[in-house]
Structure 1
Amino acid sequence: MDFRLDLIDTKIEFFEAQDLKTLERMIANQIEMNKALMLDVHSVRHQATFNAKSEKMVYSAVVHFKAKR
């Protein structure tokens, strides 16, 4: 029986929240979880958009994780 472990080299995750504090908390929690997979943050992109239907801001982010080398 062959036993093989493959490491995750790269991972991209998307986040969306109604306020900036919640978005930051979501990203921080995921960073801690990805440390167990030996992934570090490579880059973060964020954006704020006004939602006309709810008349509120919507905050989103894309976080790119890469394996520690």
Structure 2
Amino acid sequence: MEFRLERIENKVEFFQAYDLKSLERQIDQQIENNKALMLDVFAVQHHTVFDPNAGKLSYSAVVHFKAM
């Protein structure tokens, strides 16, 4: 049995919440988790849309992490 370690170079994660505080908390938590993998934030995109089913705004973000 062969055991190989490979480093993650790029990682893209998606987040969604109905308020900005929750979205920010999710992203901050994942930034801390990804520091253990030696990944840093490379780019962030965010969007806001109205969710007619919930009757409120929905906030989403895409965060691209890259190796340090």
TM range (shorter): over 0.9
* Structure 1 runs of 4+ with >6 Å offset: none
SS at match of 1:33: helix
Q: How does 1:1-69 map to 2 (within 5 A)?
A: 2-68=2-68
1:52 to partner: Cα distance: 1.4
Residue identity in the other structure for 1:59: Y
Q: Normalization by structure 1: what TM-score? A: 0.93
Q: Which runs of 5+ in 1 are unaligned?
A: none
- Please give the per-residue CA displacement for 1:3-61, whole angstroms capped at 9, x wherever unaligned: 32100000000000010000000000000000000000000000010011221000000
Q: Which runs of 5+ in 2 are unaligned?
A: none
Q: CA RMSD in A?
A: 0.9
In the alignment of these two chains, the number of paired residues is: 68
